[in-house]
Amino acid sequence: ASNRLRNKFHGCLVGAVLGDCLGAIFENDTFQSIPIEKVQKFTREGYKKQQELFYTDDTAMARSIADSLLSKNGFHGSDMAKRFTEEYFHNPYRGYGGNVPTVFSKLRDSNYADPEGPASQQFDGSGSYGNGSAMRVAPVALFAYHDPVEEAQTIAAKTSRITHTHPDGVNGAIMQMLAVRESVILNVSQGLDVFAFLDKMLSQLKNSDTSMENRCSSYVESLVRMCRLFQESKSINSEVVYRTFGNGIAAIEAVPAALMAFLCIACEPKSSFMDVIEYAISLGGDTDTIATMAGAIAGGYYGCDSIPNGWIEKCEGTAYALQRADNLFGYAVQR
């Protein structure tokens, strides 16, 4: 049982890196321009001639989250803010969102005194609703795996607020963390019960600390829509997902899109990690971020053994992800 869980921790972080690296190839392609066959031509044959693939901001920031949680034995706002910022100034060409560098500059100039301050000033004080805090949250689910879910939600929210304080940004990070957590808990051999999965997410999202987060409603609405779609038909085509949830940089689009990629594929009797990645990329738009989130969920569900070695070897940052997954597994288990 312990080896199975370790394999799931590995799969979660490696799956996230793979989704980012593969998705980045198709970034900003429209839904119409990348039919699944075009994605598959690349994912199934392309690796033979492909040189190294590079990760983007999604993975760079996820690494900082894992590093900070492990080195501080818990959430430490200034430390995490410093790691995000130093990584950005060390390598600013990883495809960061348009406005988030402002936060990094202010954090650095104020010596990380108020980790949530600069983010709360973004967009005239409304905060960013981009998917940039959901895209990097997977390590939180692993770090807090043996903690009560409320604690995991609190940490996810705090990691978000260093760059994203808008409720849609914060709740998007919470929702993605919950999806990853559940995928690691589930046993693949028992098959996926989509309705049980969605019910659990719904009740956990509704119960998240309302004194802090009283605006989960947009995501609750997304989850209710997912239930309705699955009640109508078990196999939902990607055009319906794209039209219902979108594929953009707003967390309220990308987070539900990523979860749907996982659910639509994993509820089929014969399905694999790569099927989820391909479906996620075929939605178009913010493909690196939708695929990294779908990859973290799918990798946590199917485990690392299900991820093709050919791609693991070609993607920058997979060795580091494996190492960090081991550290997080050690941390989670020792408690």
97 forms part of the interface with ligand 8NA (CB under 6 A) = yes
Cβ nearer to Mg ion, comparing 275 with 288: 288
Buried b (16+ CB within 10 A) or exposed e, 277-299: bbbbbbbbbbbbbbbbbbbbbbb
Cβ nearer to Mg ion, comparing 23 with 303: 23
33 vs 312: CA distance, rounded Å: 26
Give residues with Cβ within 8 angstroms of 43, minimum separation 6.
Answer: 22, 274, 277, 278, 281, 311
Binds Mg ion (CB under 5 A): choice among 95, 101, 117, 308: 95
Amino acid at residue number 172: G
247 vs 281: CA distance, rounded Å: 10
Q: Using alpha carbons only, what angle is made at residue 237 by residues 232 and 243, rounded to the nearest 5 degrees? A: 90
253 forms part of the interface with ligand 8NA (CB under 6 A) = no
Buried b (16+ CB within 10 A) or exposed e, 114-130: ebbbbbbebeeeebbbb
Binds Mg ion (CB under 5 A): choice among 27, 86, 147, 213: 27
Q: How many residues bind ligand 8NA (CB under 6 A)?
A: 22
Return the structure tokens found at 73.
Answer: 């034995």
Binds ligand 8NA (CB under 6 A): choice among 59, 131, 165, 247: 131
Binds Mg ion (CB under 5 A): choice among 29, 57, 253, 275: 57
Cβ nearer to ligand 8NA, comparing 100 with 194: 100
Amino acid at residue number 169: G
Binds ligand 8NA (CB under 6 A): choice among 29, 116, 275, 288: 288
How far, in Å, are 4, 161, 264, 266, 289 from residue 191 at the CA level? 16, 35, 13, 8, 26
Task: Kindly state the smallest distance separating residue 122's Cβ from ligand 8NA, in Å.
Answer: 6
176 forms part of the interface with Mg ion (CB under 5 A) = no
187 vs 312: CA distance, rounded Å: 23
129 binds, among Mg ion, ligand 8NA, none (CB under 5 to 8 A by kind): ligand 8NA
Site stretch for ligand 8NA (CB under 6 A), options 124-132, 152-160, 193-201, 207-215: 124-132
- DSSP bridge partners of 315: 53
Return the structure tokens found at 283.
Answer: 């939605």
Strands (DSSP E) contained in the chain are none
97 binds, among ligand 8NA, Mg ion, none (CB under 5 to 8 A by kind): ligand 8NA
Among positions 24-83, residues that touch ligand 8NA (CB under 6 A) are 56-58
Cβ nearer to Mg ion, comparing 77 with 95: 95
Task: Kindly state the smallest distance separating residue 55's Cβ from Mg ion, in Å.
Answer: 8
Binds Mg ion (CB under 5 A): choice among 289, 294, 298, 301: 289
If we measure between CA atoms, which residue out of 136, 130, 182, 128 comes closest to residue 156? 136
Residues near Mg ion (CB under 5 A) are 27, 56-58, 95, 286, 288-289
Residues that bind ligand 8NA (CB under 6 A): 56-58, 95-100, 123, 126, 128-132, 135, 166, 249, 286, 288-289
